[in-house]
């Protein structure tokens, strides 16, 4: 599980964000804070993996929390969630090394997509070493431009699609959506969307496994040409 700390001064908005996060498989909210000082205290006590940080806090500007986190030895990632549209705020967030910047207002799907991309990047760096520059680029949220840019449907990311492709190629057999989700670090529903897309594009083949009762299980394997 990826533990999340929500930092938001409006308690109703914090409750909504908590519900959004808890609805994403693999994520859980371990605490909330309504100001910068509370965020620092909660980070020390709860040791979250990810902080969702509003910038307009009552006691300090949100980005001022980040260097204090680092000086205190906390290495949790930070995702900004704010209505701040000033270019300087965005540049400051980039300089502070935030993993994403989501503008308010947004819906649950917007946050889900960013959390799943974040989870995919964490998975990409789970090994002790990286296999090459492509892994580094994916971990930084970059995708090297190929000769023909890969197209994925709206709401899907190239980075996650590549991770699903890799899991399928390296499976040595068939994978279900649930098995793929565990391997890649995304939800089962998202894994199935990516697997079905690979099937439609001819990169994967689907087969049905029948059990004693219920609907047959869809199994996917890489289409070797």
| pLDDT tens string 32-52 | 999 999 999 999 999 999 999
Q: How far apart are CA 198 and CA 138, in angstroms?
A: 19
pTM score, two decimals?
Answer: 0.60
Give the model confidence (pLDDT) of 99-134 as tens digits: 999 998 888 999 999 999 999 888 766 554 655 666
Do residues 152 and 198 lie in contact, with contact meaning Cβ atoms separated by under 8 Å? Answer: no
> What is the β-pairing status of strands 2-7 and 27-33?
parallel
Token duo for residue 206: 């689907």
Give the model confidence (pLDDT) of 145-196 as tens digits: 444 445 677 778 888 888 999 999 888 889 999 999 999 989 999 999 999 9
């Amino acid at each position: 599980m990826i533990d999340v700390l929500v930092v938001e001064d409006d308690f109703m908005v914090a409750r909504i964000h908590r519900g959004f996060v808890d609805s994403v498989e693999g994520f859980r909210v371990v605490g909330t804070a309504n100001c910068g000082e509370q965020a620092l205290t909660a980070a020390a006590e709860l040791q979250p993996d990810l902080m969702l940080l509003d910038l307009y806090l009552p006691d300090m500007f949100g980005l001022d929390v980040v260097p204090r986190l680092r000086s205190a030895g906390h290495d949790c990632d930070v995702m900004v969630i704010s209505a701040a549209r000033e270019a300087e705020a965005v540049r400051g967030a980039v300089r502070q090394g935030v993993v994403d910047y989501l503008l308010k207002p947004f819906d649950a799907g917007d946050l889900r997509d960013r959390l799943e991309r974040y989870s995919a990047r964490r998975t990409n760096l789970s090994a002790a070493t990286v296999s090459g520059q492509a892994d580094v680029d994916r971990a930084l949220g970059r995708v090297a431009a190929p000769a023909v840019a890969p197209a994925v449907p709206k709401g899907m990311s190239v980075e996650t699609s590549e991770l699903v492709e890799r899991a399928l190629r390296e499976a040595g057999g068939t994978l279900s959506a649930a098995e793929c989700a565990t391997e890649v670090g995304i939800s089962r529903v998202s894994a199935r969307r990516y697997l079905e897309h690979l099937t439609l594009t001819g990169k994967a083949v689907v087969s049905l496994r029948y059990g004693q009762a219920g609907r047959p299980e869809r199994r996917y394997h890489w289409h070797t040409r």
